[in-house]
Structure formats: structure tokens, C-alpha cells
Amino acid sequence: MSVARRTFIQLGAGATVGILFTPTVWKALDDVSIWTQNWPWIPKLKYGAVEAKPTVSKMCESGCAVKVRTVAGEPFGTMGNEDNPISGGGICPLCANGVQVKNSPNRIKAPMLDGQEITWEKAQEVVAEKLAAAGSKVAVISGDQTGTANEVFSALLADKGSDAFYMMPCDMQAADKAWTGLMGGSGQVGYDLEGADLVLLAGADALESWGPTVANLKSFAANESGKFIFAGPMQTKTASVTSLWVPVPAEGMAAFTLGIAYYVLQAGKTVDTADFGQFKAMVMSEYSPAKVEAATGVKADRMADLAKQLLTASNPVVVPAGPVAAHGAAFALNLLLGGAMKALPEFGKAIPSAMSRSEMLKADILEGVDTDLLFIYEANPAYALPEKVKAGFTVAFDVVQTETTATANLVLPSLHPYERFDDLASPYGLAAATYSLGAPVCKPSVDAISAATFILGLADLGFESFEEVLGAKAEAVGADMEALQGGEAFVAEGETPAAASLAANVLGKAAVPVKGTGAVGLAPYTLLNVGTANQATTPNAPCTISNNQLVGDHMVVMMGSATAKQLGVSVGSKVKLSGGKGDCEALVQIFEGVMPGVVAAPLGLGHTVGDEFSKGKGDNVYKILTVSSEAAAGASTWAGSTVNVAKI
Amino acid sequence: MEERKASKRCGGVFPFIIGFLAFCVLGWAVIPGLFFDKEEQPVWFSHAVHVEGQGMDCESCHYFRDDGTYAGFPTNEVCAECHAVDPEEAQAAIVEEGIDPTDYDAIMKAGIGAIEDNLASSDDDKMQAEREYVVKYLIQGKEVPWLNYQYQPDNVYFSHASHMSLSIEELASLKKELSDVVDPSVFEGEAPEQNCNLCHPKDIQANDVPPALERNILSGYSKTTMKMWKCERCHALKGQPNACYTCHK
């Protein structure tokens, strides 16, 4: 026994030494060390051709013309499209994160009926049944300001004998109500920011969140000799790069504009409309600088100086935002000045029975919606509208889960803009009518279909798919489909605007500042990186949100030191803002760029549904906005919202 | 006592020497081979048929893109330039025959005209390989998962463009120094116009049956994947930078 054991030990010792004289051990160690660098969960690169495919992104309100960077057909990044005038190679903070949103776990992955996953066939059956039962009590809320998908939805409504098409509140709507509604103008209003030598941004935060922001920034950069002035209740980022900030309360913007018009009329400027005399008399008597100063707090001298600058400029333009009255006043002033405001021709319709854009903008969603069957297309009214939208059955189309999809009866996943055909027809604010088209750049990553194609399956509207509708649209526009798919835009120059009336009667009453009863005025503002009414902040954007909007999970509101003293709060105070039909919690920040008696709060925070980047971050300011009626103008507005502030 | 005697008889240095020699032989000749699994390419691709038979050159499939990146293996798009089977037409014909589109064997046996009439090969065995490619990949819209004999880890940025001007003829002067980095046989005979042989299997363009990829069972890499020290050695010999960021971007 001991012999075998000793021999074995000697043999083993020899084997051990022997193996050390071979590469085996060292190779095994080397391989194991490499193996430890290659755990199965380590992401693997996708190899293949790197391309930049043109398409359109619909994440911001005006939409961006983009190029999606792909490798082996898989998108990994988004950049601007230098061949398209909307983009000029730039991109907004929301659309820049298109790929991240496309791949987000927050995407709706399949049709859901009352929380249960169903097939598309079943969804089609359910909607067809509800549609038949609803008769003409069908409504649509659209969050898309530029797409031909709206034509498909409105054609469905027309087929059912309904005209209840609602757009989410937007400046394009206020502009249309003022221009085509009150003043009898035609086409869509645009502003030549690049060609103007003086731009008065009357509340339009054009370099941050208003209109086609990227195009505005490009125009601002290209317009080296032009002078930009910003008027509004707070010194926005736009105001910080303009030549001058004129503090004007939001509800006083129309009166302020008419106060400037006073001097312009005094200088002898006229407009060829039937009611010009009436308009002049109204302004001269009711909006004299002294009266405007008393109503808005803006010094008469300041208005006189602005009027002088506008009168001496060769191509000035006033760019409004907010209520219908503010738009009407600005358009009247622009007509008097004869500057860089344009009237854009409207593109032809793809579907004859569809509404025109102007018709789509007529209904006022702030007055409330009550219907049997409601289609919500990529909008988030449950989050952004203080008034309840009532419907017997709600069908919500969206790419990602939102407060609206959480409460809808039937949720249908939309294709992401990079996975579908879509278009951008004349985003509001551009100086030229512009049409861009987007085609899919990658395969769908969830079980989604085009919302418009789904609708086309519900009624005989003359088209089988949305792609066909866009073909017809391109033809109606007169554009070359191949060039559009290659990323180029079709452009029709804006024309000199002409109005039938200056709406003297209406403006005289509607421009009077109306303020709520709260302790301080509320100046809600939008930053694209924080989000919009339809789109919460995107995955890479939170790191760009500053401490003036969000600290940890707490929203931050800004006010001047005089206002803080008046309210008995200081930097870091936790406060409750009450207004409208709700209240918000926030921390206080002192910023002297906010008018006295006003508190500025960021819109877009406080989501209760969404991804880790937006859910539970800050509070929802839409809850504390007060809807007031612009009685004379036949519209509703949030301007003039006030809040009470209590320290907690 | 018996055991003690036995111990003396069998003791000493012999068992040690036997163990030493046996494991030296095993360690050099047998065990290294056990570290590798052999994997066949998904499709029998004959370079000889394409290069010698059809007169194609390397750049027909392995080319630089317009942006300077290297395309590597050809995609279906490139293959379909010659293999003219229309995927939609073929799929429609398969459905018409009542065959399950994923039952590859049944499709290949069915002799479907939309596929068979467009095959380019003449020999039976070559035609079978082409048929397999067409049925399993081309008409399915799936790229062939070619096995790469030299693939590098994802954390290595290797630019073919930066190495395309290396000349085997010039490197021949460093033959001795490079002997453990590249296959010495690369420097034998007349230097080829292209330097692919430096890293890739020599004369692969004449190969009829693709060699199996030998995959290391521990690390997962190909046996011929270049190790970092080899890259560094060559860079040092050529006076090129060896800083980390040179390859790890």
C-alpha cells in the first residue's frame, strides 16, 4: 500500500512539474483572464454600415427634420438635417433623444383594452363597434400640429357627421382664431426672423420653446444686423440673448401692443381695411399710453421708444404669443408697420372630406369635451388640461405610456416617428410654407401600427394606408416624393398678409388685462428639455435641467426678492401654490428676472405616469392654471392665471 | 516490511521522471488542442468558385465604404447582385406550394422554379450550397452569421484603412522580429499585392472549403484572433504609438 502511495506521489510531483514546463497552465490562466472580461450581459456592438437617414421627428410641438444615424439599420443617434430649412442641421432637445425614446421600456408594446393585452384584430373590432354605437357623438383630440394624420382623423369625423376635432391649446390656434377668425385674413401667419431688422418678441420665447425653435435659432444666428427685443413677465433664456427685455405681464400683452400701436397710428400709419377708422379711434381713446401704463405697469416712455424703433426699422415684425387678443393686437400692429409678417399659402388636402387646418383649430378644448367616443392622437390631455375631458369610451394612440393612456379604455401603440411614414406641413411660425416627409428608417421594435392606417381601416376614406395618403398629400402640395424622402423640403414663399378687418370692436374689449384673484401672478414657462404638454422630458435631457427648475424631486419656482419679501419666503423655502383647481409644491428661488408680483413656474414636470426620468419629478403646473374666457374674442386663455402662495 | 521493500524497489526518481515526461508530452502535444472547439461556417462558401471561377476580386465583397469604413463580410445586398433570386417572388412561390416558409429542407427539396431557375451554380454540390444560402438567408432577409477568423473584442478599435498601406515586401526585413506575431510563411514566395495575409488565413482567395473556426472554449475567441501583445509588438517595431487610446477608443 505504501509503495503505491509513494510512487503515486512521486508520479504526481513529476506530472505537476512537467505540466509547468508546458504552455497549458499559462494558456489556461490567460484564457480565464480574458473570459472574465466577457460576461454574457456585456453589451455587444452592432457592426455594419453607418448611415444618416433623413426622416421627421414629432416629439417637439413643431417637429424637427432630422437625420437618424444607424449602424446596420439599427438607429443609435439623431442629428439635424442640413438639407431642410426647418432644421438647417440643428435639432431640439426633445428630438435629439428620439432613439432613446424609441427604445424606452416605457413604450406601449401592444394594444391594451381596460388593462388587458389584446390583438390588433380585436382592437379593430372593439373600435368599429363603439364607432357604430356612437353615431355622430365622436370626437378627436390631436397633439400633432403639423401632420396629415389629422386629415385622416377629421375625415373619419366627417364620415360620421361630427366636427368635434380638438387641437391641444397652442399658439398656432390663437393665431388662427385672431387672423382668419377675427381679422378675415387668409393663410397661416409666419414671421421672417432672418429678414427682419427689428424683431419684437411679444411673449414669444422664440429661441427656447416657441414655434420652430431650431429654425428660430438659425434665423437669430444668421440675422447679424437685426435687433431682437423680448417682452414678457420674466427674463427667459430668449430674453437673455436679446438686446432688451421689457417686463410686461402676460395678461397685459395685448394692451401693451396696442399702446405701441397708439404711437404708430399717431405717426400716420394706415391699413386699407373698412374698420381702420374705428380701430384708430378705439386705440387712441382706450389704449392711450397713460391708460396702458396704468393697466400694465409698462412706462409710456418705453412704449414710445419701442414704437420709434419699429417705425424707423425698414422691415420690423412683432411676434406674439398667448391669448387671441395678444395675437390680434400684434397682427394689427404688423399690418400698420408693413414689415416681416407673412401669410403662408395653405397646402392642398390629401383627403377631400377632411377639414382644413384652420377648421381644425376652431374648436376650443379649454371649454371642455363631452362625447361618447373619443380618439386621442399623441396628446396628453389628462396631464395638460385643467378641465376634465369626458367621454363614454376613450381610445388613446401613443408611442409611450402617459397619464392619458393610463386612463383610456383602449390604448393603441403608435409607431415611433422613426418607424413610420409621417410629415411636417408648415410648422407654425416659419416665414415660408414648408412641407417635409419622413419614411421609416428602421423596423418597429414593438407590436405597433400607424394610427392613421388603423383609422383608415374603420371607414372608407379612399385610402388603404397612411403611406398612400402621404403620396396624395405630396401630389396636392406639388412636391417631388423622391426629393422629400431624400430629406429635402418643399418650400412655398410666404406672401404679404392682407386682412379684411382689424377687429376693432373685439380687440377693444379683449385687450383689457384680466387678472385672477390670487395673491401673485403666475408666469408658466416652457423649456424644451423639461418637456411640453405632450412630451415629458426625454432620457438624456434631465442632466440639462437646472436647479432653477428642479432640485432633487422638487420643482423650483422663481420670483424677485420684492415678491419673496411680500410673501414672506426666501431661497429654499418650501411653498404650496394654489390656483385653478389644484395646488403644487415647490421650492423658492430668487431671480430678479421675474417681474414683481409674479412667480414663474416651469411647465412639463410632475408626471404621475412615465419613465424614471420624468415620473415623480417636480409638480404639474397645469393643475394651477386658471382658464379664463376671452369673452370678446370667443376663446379661452390661461394668461392672467394667479396663485396664492403659502409657506409649508 | 514487504511494503517497505516494495517502496524501495519502486522508489527513487523514476516515477517522478515518468510523470514529468508524460505531462510534458501531454501539455505540449495534446492539451492545447483540447482548448478549442471547431465551428463550421454556416454556409459552404467557396472562395475558389467566386475568385477563380467567376473572376471576382477581393474588393467585390470586402470593400471600403464611401466614408472610409471597412465593410468586412458581404451583406445580402451585395450577394444579391449576382444571386438573382427575388425574395418576394420566392416567398410567394413557397406559399403557393403550401410549404411552411421556415421549413428549409422542404423548400430545398421542392425544386421551386422561382429559386431553382435563378441559381448560378452548375455542379450539384455547389448548387446545393447556393440553394442553402438562398433559402436560409437571402429570401428570409437574414444576413449570414459568418464566422470571423480574426474578430477583435468590442473594446478594440481596429481600422483596416490605417493598415491597408502596410507592405508585406517591406515588412520582410522584420521577418525575424515578427516571427511570433504573424505566420512566417507570409514572407515566403513573391509578395502579394494585398497585405491581407498578414492577419488573415494565407491565400484564402484560393480556398474551396472554408476552414473551421477554432473557438477557445474558455475565452470564446478565435484561435487566430490577435492578442494585444502582438498588436503592441508590431506597433513598436514600426515606430507607431502604443498608448492605450490608440486602439481603445
Query: Residue A278 maps to which CATH number?
Result: 3.40.228.10
Count the residues in chain A.
Answer: 648
CA dihedral (A360, A363, A365, A367) in degrees, to 10, reads: 180
Above 80 in pLDDT, residue B12?
Answer: no
ipTM of the complex: 0.85
**Eight-class DSSP state of B222:** B
Percent of chain A with pLDDT over 90: 90
Range of the domain at A3: 1-38
Burial environment of residue B139 by CB neighbours within 10 A (0 to 12, 13 to 18, 19 or more)? buried
Half-sphere exposure (Cβ direction) of A412: Cα atoms closer than 13 Å:
24
Answer yes or no: do A7 and B72 touch at CB < 8 A.
no
Q: Which three cell numbers stand for residue A498?
A: 392682407
pLDDT of residue B6: 46
Query: Which residue does chain A place closest to B24, by CA atoms?
Result: A18
Domain membership of residue A344 (yes or no) is no
The answer on A22 and A49 residing in a single domain is: no
Distance from CA of B123 to the nearest CA of A (A): 33
**Eight-class DSSP state of A244:** E
Per-residue pLDDT, averaged over B99-123, amounts to: 90
Element (H, E) at A66: strand A64-71
Element (H, E) at A476: helix A466-477
Per-residue pLDDT, averaged over A288-315, amounts to: 96
The per-residue pLDDT of chain A, averaged, comes to 94
Q: Measured between beta carbons, which residues in chain B are less than 8 angstroms from residue A44?
A: 154
pLDDT of residue A341: 97
Answer yes or no: do B19 and A47 touch at CB < 8 A.
no
**Eight-class DSSP state of A554:** E
Distance from CA of B47 to the nearest CA of A (A): 22
**Eight-class DSSP state of B172:** G
Above 90 in pLDDT, residue B40?
Answer: yes
Q: Measured between beta carbons, which residues in chain B are less than 8 angstroms from residue A15?
A: 19-20, 22-23
H-helix segments, A135-275 = 149-160, 171-176, 213-222, 237-241, 253-266
Answer yes or no: do A31 and B35 touch at CB < 8 A.
yes
The answer on A246 and A308 residing in a single domain is: yes
Distance from CA of B200 to the nearest CA of A (A): 19
Answer yes or no: do A14 and B23 touch at CB < 8 A.
yes
**Closest CB to A24 among B3, B27, B153:** B27
Above 70 in pLDDT, residue A248?
Answer: yes
Query: Which residue does chain A place closest to B74, by CA atoms?
Result: A48
Above 80 in pLDDT, residue B75?
Answer: yes
The answer on A545 and A414 residing in a single domain is: no
Q: How far apart are CA A226 and CA A235, in angstroms?
A: 20
Element (H, E) at A70: strand A64-71
**Eight-class DSSP state of A571:** T
Q: Which of B218, B225, B229 to mutate to test the interface with A (most CBs of A within 10 A)?
A: B218
Q: Report the CATH number at residue A97.
A: 3.40.50.740
Per-residue pLDDT, averaged over A396-412, amounts to: 97
> Domain boundary residue among A299, A314, A339?
A339
Q: Which three cell numbers stand for residue A78?
A: 439623431
**Closest CB to B3 among A3, A23, A27:** A3
- For residues A643 and A577, is the Cβ–Cβ distance under 8 A? yes
Per-residue pLDDT, averaged over A503-507, amounts to: 93
The answer on A404 and A277 residing in a single domain is: no
Q: Which residues pair with A369 in a beta bridge?
A: A389
The answer on A335 and A239 residing in a single domain is: yes
Cβ count near A440 (within 10 Å): 19
Residue appearing with cell numbers 421627428: A57
Above 50 in pLDDT, residue A95?
Answer: yes
Distance from CA of B218 to the nearest CA of A (A): 6
Q: Which three cell numbers stand for residue A449?
A: 401600427
pLDDT of residue B235: 96
Phi-psi region of B181 (alpha: psi -120 to 50; beta: other; left: phi over 0): alpha
Q: Which three cell numbers stand for residue A148?
A: 396629415
pLDDT of residue A326: 96
Domain membership of residue A54 (yes or no) is yes
Query: Which residue does chain B place closest to A38, by CA atoms?
Result: B219
Above 80 in pLDDT, residue B92?
Answer: yes
Q: Measured between beta carbons, which residues in chain B are less than 8 angstroms from residue A37?
A: 153
Answer yes or no: do B35 and A18 touch at CB < 8 A.
no
Q: How far apart are CA A244 and CA A260, in angstroms?
A: 16
Distance from CA of A69 to the nearest CA of B (A): 13
Domain membership of residue A188 (yes or no) is no
Chain B: residues touching A (Cβ < 8 Å): 3-4, 6-7, 9-11, 13-24, 26-28, 31-32, 35, 65, 67, 69, 71-72, 75, 153-154, 216, 218-221
Per-residue pLDDT, averaged over A621-631, amounts to: 87
H-helix segments, A198-351 = 213-222, 237-241, 253-266, 276-286, 289-296, 300-312, 324-337
Above 80 in pLDDT, residue A72?
Answer: yes
The answer on A285 and A238 residing in a single domain is: yes
The answer on A89 and A45 residing in a single domain is: yes
Q: Which of B17, B21, B180, B219 to mutate to test the interface with A (most CBs of A within 10 A)?
A: B219
Q: Measured between beta carbons, which residues in chain B are less than 8 angstroms from residue A36?
A: none
Q: Give the three-state DSSP class for A209.
A: coil
> Domain boundary residue among A339, A374, A404?
A339
Q: Measured between beta carbons, which residues in chain B are less than 8 angstroms from residue A38?
A: 153, 219-220
**Closest CB to A18 among B3, B22, B65:** B22
Q: Give the three-state DSSP class for B171.
A: helix
Q: Which of B8, B20, B31, B230 to mutate to test the interface with A (most CBs of A within 10 A)?
A: B20
Distance from CA of B31 to the nearest CA of A (A): 7
Answer yes or no: do A37 and B153 touch at CB < 8 A.
yes
Q: Measured between beta carbons, which residues in chain A are less than 8 angstroms from residue B7?
A: 2-3, 6
Number of structural domains, chain A? Answer: 4
> Domain boundary residue among A286, A306, A339?
A339
Per-residue pLDDT, averaged over A539-554, amounts to: 95
The answer on A355 and A258 residing in a single domain is: no
pTM higher than the cut 0.90? no
Distance from CA of A487 to the nearest CA of B (A): 19
The answer on A264 and A329 residing in a single domain is: yes
Distance from CA of B227 to the nearest CA of A (A): 10
**Closest CB to B22 among A15, A43, A48:** A15
Burial environment of residue A65 by CB neighbours within 10 A (0 to 12, 13 to 18, 19 or more)? buried
Q: Which residues pair with A636 in a beta bridge?
A: A629
Cα distances (Å, whole numbers) of residue B111 to B104, B115, B120: 12, 8, 15
Domain membership of residue A563 (yes or no) is yes
pLDDT bracket for residue A2 (50, 70, 90): low
Model confidence over A149-166: pLDDT tens digits? 999 999 999 999 999 999
The answer on A86 and A30 residing in a single domain is: no
CA end-to-end span of chain A, whole Å? Answer: 88
Residue appearing with cell numbers 414678457: A232
**Eight-class DSSP state of A251:** G
Domain membership of residue A185 (yes or no) is no
Q: How far apart are CA A309 and CA A550, in angstroms?
A: 38
Q: How far apart are CA B127 and CA B116, in angstroms?
A: 9
Above 50 in pLDDT, residue A589?
Answer: yes
Above 70 in pLDDT, residue B2?
Answer: no
Q: Report the CATH number at residue A602.
A: 2.40.40.20
Sign of the Cα pseudo-torsion (A582, A587, A588, A594, in order):
negative
Q: How far apart are CA A140 and CA A164, in angstroms?
A: 6
The answer on A479 and A394 residing in a single domain is: yes
Q: Measured between beta carbons, which residues in chain A are less than 8 angstroms from residue B20?
A: 14-15, 17-18, 21
pLDDT of residue A598: 96
Above 50 in pLDDT, residue A43?
Answer: yes
**Eight-class DSSP state of B137:** I
Q: How far apart are CA A532 and CA A94, in angstroms?
A: 9
Listed in sequence order, the residues at least 6 apart from B3 whose beta carbon sits closer than 8 Å to its beta carbon are A1, A2, A3
3-state secondary structure A573-588: CEEEEEECCEEEEEEE
**Closest CB to B27 among A18, A34, A48:** A18
Q: How far apart are CA A350 and CA A294, in angstroms?
A: 51
The answer on A561 and A492 residing in a single domain is: no
Domain membership of residue A504 (yes or no) is no
Q: Identify which of A358, A369, A376, A368 has the alpha carbon closest to the alpha carbon of residue A533.
A: A376
Residue appearing with cell numbers 427539396: B109
Query: Which residue does chain A place closest to B75, by CA atoms?
Result: A48
Q: Measured between beta carbons, which residues in chain B are less than 8 angstroms from residue A18?
A: 19-24, 27
